[in-house]
């Protein structure tokens, strides 16, 4: 028998292109909200809390369901789950495009996250199964390059569409989903399945814990972080003085996540199939690498959630101009990914991650330094390009560090956990940074107006008005001579909020940089032995 793997057929390559385009849609939908946020806020009047949920809902559902989606892929076949995920994504894109109010739009984004969580892990499984040897490496290069190109084009496309209507940024997904589903059905074979069951209780615990953690971070500035002395109404329920509902949410989230961890450990010891094999965390590189992954996620994406508000409401950019500025991040990342690939043979992965984190932190610190009410577009773009270069270096190799010592039999489980850690860091980073930004905006407007001689009550009211509108009221304030001072104060406060967010994100990335030295080198196969799962053929 020959040891040379057969050359892949053109059909297989068309299949990997279809799968890659499916993941590209998921990536683009992470970035489009940053560009269309301002017109959505103006059109639906959703306020600052709604703006946070609009940004957060997709990432929360995505992070909470990645582990479950990976398990469903094993049980029912990667192709079937991929196609179902695409169908869910397409249907909820239509729902988002037609949403008449903020509540339905946020619900649609949650459901889009469900579809996205089903697409990403199954796409990797499909590519991995369709190719072997050097062809597999080329297939993953196609997969990654398609995603990089989508990330670069996404902000520009969504900004251009938003100048007509933000709804087109979701509506364009529908014909693309149909095309990708057809390509997958025509060019990829059915996927094998395994026998087993889903840990439903574990899935509910993880989703509840992650969801409540995000709720607490988002609503802390509204209801108070620890205690409240005044009666509140939360979700239609009366809440008297005492521990704030946010503190209760933190406590319940911690309890749910602790219970999830204990349950997964118990299932692993019993030889059953947990959603997350916690025994992998006995491997130092895996454990510490995932800590780095979470911290990187915290620092990388929070700033992107607030930049469009500053660009459009404080600096007066159109949606397309804001998308053009944000595209500098994706262009820098795409450029660095190519350079990083050529360095892979001579520069260790850990060194490239450190280079990336250092460049990212420098770019964000530079953004903090230049943030003002009259910042130059090209300076913003240069800072964001540098930040994107750092993202390209860091993200290209952080997965290699995390999985370096994970045995091949546990690679799928390890990849799923690493993906979930990254999405968790991203979701929490957006919640943390938007809360920090809006808190700075409220106090900044109030203090500036009070210093200008406005009565404290009126200054506080205007600060709340600006924050509750997520800054969309600034152009209207500027158009009225009686409130022009408030508009100036709001622009200054927004710039201060962006600067603070930039410095905080840079600090988090420096913390991640320090943490990379805690990741050991070498190969340590501390993961538990496990019999390979029995696979049976099944329908797509």
pLDDT at position 539: 32
**Are the beta carbons of 105 and 153 closer than 8 angstroms?**
no
**Are the beta carbons of 239 and 232 closer than 8 angstroms?**
yes
- Find which of 137-146, 478-487, 498-507 is predicted with most confidence, using mean pLDDT: 498-507
Give the list of residues 6+ apart from residue 439 with CB closer than 8 angstroms, or none: 221
What is the rounded average pLDDT of the residues 107-115?
A: 90
The fourth-level CATH superfamily of domain 281-528 is MFS general substrate transporter like domains (1.20.1250.20)
Q: Which fold has domain 9-196?
A: Growth Hormone; Chain: A; (1.20.1250)
Is 80 exceeded by the pLDDT of residue 440? yes
More confident residue, 491 or 143: 491
Whether this prediction's pTM lies above 0.75 is answered by no
| 323 CB neighbour count, 10 Å cutoff | 29
Instruction: Give percent of the chain above pLDDT 90.
Output: 14
The Cα–Cα gap between 349 and 340 comes to 9
pLDDT at position 521: 53
pLDDT at position 132: 60
Is 60 exceeded by the pLDDT of residue 474? yes
More confident residue, 212 or 485: 485
pLDDT at position 359: 92
Nearest to 188 by CA among 115, 127, 113: 127
Which helix (H) or strand (E) is 170 found in, with range?
helix 168-171
pLDDT at position 522: 45
pLDDT band at 500 (very low <50, low <70, confident <90, very high): very high
242-285 pLDDT, tens digit per residue, is 788 888 888 998 999 999 999 988 988 887 878 777 888 888 88
pLDDT at position 426: 74
**Are the beta carbons of 299 and 512 closer than 8 angstroms?**
yes
What is the rounded average pLDDT of the residues 419-441?
A: 79
Structure token digits, residue 375: 């910042």
Q: How far is CA 524 from the centre of its chain?
A: 30
pLDDT at position 260: 92
Nearest to 364 by CA among 383, 350, 392: 383
Check residue 480 and give left, alpha or beta (phi > 0: left; psi -120 to 50: alpha).
beta
Instruction: Give percent of the chain above pLDDT 70.
Output: 77
pLDDT band at 130 (very low <50, low <70, confident <90, very high): low
pLDDT at position 89: 92
pLDDT at position 536: 34
What secondary structure letter does DSSP report for 314?
I
40-54, 99-113, 143-157, 455-469: range with lowest mean pLDDT: 143-157
pLDDT band at 1 (very low <50, low <70, confident <90, very high): very low
Residue ranges per structural domain of the chain: 9-196, 199-274, 281-528
What is the rounded average pLDDT of the residues 218-223?
A: 68
The Cα–Cα gap between 329 and 317 comes to 17
Is 70 exceeded by the pLDDT of residue 411? no
More confident residue, 344 or 264: 264
| 137 CB neighbour count, 10 Å cutoff | 9
pLDDT at position 537: 33
pLDDT at position 24: 76
Residue ranges of alpha helices (H) inside 191-244 are 200-223
Is 90 exceeded by the pLDDT of residue 358? yes
What secondary structure letter does DSSP report for 236?
T
The mean pLDDT value of the chain amounts to 78
What is the rounded average pLDDT of the residues 444-470?
A: 86
Is 90 exceeded by the pLDDT of residue 19? no
pLDDT band at 382 (very low <50, low <70, confident <90, very high): very high
Which helix (H) or strand (E) is 275 found in, with range?
none
pLDDT band at 524 (very low <50, low <70, confident <90, very high): very low
**Are the beta carbons of 295 and 508 closer than 8 angstroms?**
yes
Distances (CA, A) of 230 to 446, 460, 482: 22, 18, 34
pLDDT at position 497: 92
Nearest to 436 by CA among 356, 379, 506, 496: 496
Same fold, 9-196 and 281-528: yes
pLDDT at position 259: 95
What is the rounded average pLDDT of the residues 47-55?
A: 73
More confident residue, 416 or 73: 73
């Amino acid at each position: 028998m020959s040891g040379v793997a057969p050359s892949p057929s053109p059909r297989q390559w068309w299949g990997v292109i279809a799968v890659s385009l499916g993941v590209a849609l998921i990536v683009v939908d992470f970035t489009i909200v940053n560009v269309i946020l301002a017109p959505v806020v103006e059109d639906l009047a959703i306020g600052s809390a709604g703006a946070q949920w609009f940004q957060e809902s997709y990432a929360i559902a995505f992070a909470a369901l990645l582990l479950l989606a990976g398990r469903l892929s094993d049980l029912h076949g990667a192709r079937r789950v991929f196609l179902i995920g695409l169908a869910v994504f397409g249907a909820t894109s239509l729902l988002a495009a037609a949403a008449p109010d903020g509540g339905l739009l946020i619900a649609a984004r949650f459901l889009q996250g469900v579809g996205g969580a089903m697409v990403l892990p199954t796409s990797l499984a499909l590519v991995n199964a369709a190719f072997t040897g050097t062809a597999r490496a080329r297939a993953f290069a196609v997969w990654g390059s398609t995603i990089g190109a989508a990330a670069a084009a996404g902000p520009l496309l969504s900004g251009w569409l938003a100048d007509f209507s933000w709804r087109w940024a979701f509506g364009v997904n529908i014909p693309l989903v149909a095309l990708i589903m057809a390509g997958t059905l025509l060019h990829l074979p059915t996927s094998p399945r395994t026998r087993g069951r889903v840990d439903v209780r574990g899935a509910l615990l993880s989703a509840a814990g992650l969801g409540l953690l995000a709720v607490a971070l988002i609503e802390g500035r509204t209801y108070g972080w620890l205690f409240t002395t005044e009666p509140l109404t939360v979700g239609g329920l009366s809440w008297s003085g005492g521990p704030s509902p946010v503190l209760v949410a933190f406590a319940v989230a911690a309890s749910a996540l602790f219970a999830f961890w204990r349950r997964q450990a118990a299932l692993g010891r019993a030889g059953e199939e947990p959603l997350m094999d916690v025994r992998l965390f006995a491997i130092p590189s895996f454990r510490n690498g995932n800590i780095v992954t979470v911290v990187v996620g915290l620092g990388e994406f929070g700033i992107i959630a607030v930049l469009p508000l500053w660009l459009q409401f404080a600096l007066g950019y159109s949606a397309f101009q804001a998308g053009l500025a944000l595209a500098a991040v994706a262009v820098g990342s795409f450029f660095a990914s190519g350079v990083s690939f050529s360095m892979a043979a001579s520069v260790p992965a850990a060194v490239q991650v450190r280079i990336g984190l250092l460049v990212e932190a420098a770019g964000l610190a530079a953004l903090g330094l230049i943030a003002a009410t009259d910042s130059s577009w090209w300076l913003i773009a240069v800072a964001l390009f540098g930040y994107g270069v750092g993202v390209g270096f860091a993200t290209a190799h952080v997965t290699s560090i995390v999985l370096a010592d994970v045995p091949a039999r546990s690679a799928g489980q390890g990849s799923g956990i690493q993906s979930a850690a990254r999405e968790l860091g991203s979701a929490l980073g957006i919640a943390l940074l938007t809360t920090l930004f809006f808190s700075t905006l409220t106090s900044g407007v109030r203090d500036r107006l009070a210093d200008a001689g406005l009565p404290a009550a009126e200054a506080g009211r205007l600060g709340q008005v600006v924050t509750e509108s997520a800054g969309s009221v600034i152009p209207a304030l500027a158009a009225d001579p009686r409130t022009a001072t408030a508009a100036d104060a709001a622009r200054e406060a927004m710039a201060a909020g962006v600067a603070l967010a930039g410095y905080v994100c840079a600090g988090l990335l420096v913390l991640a940089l320090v943490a990379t030295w805690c990741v050991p080198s070498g190969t340590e196969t501390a993961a538990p032995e496990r019999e390979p799962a029995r696979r049976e053929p099944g329908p797509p």
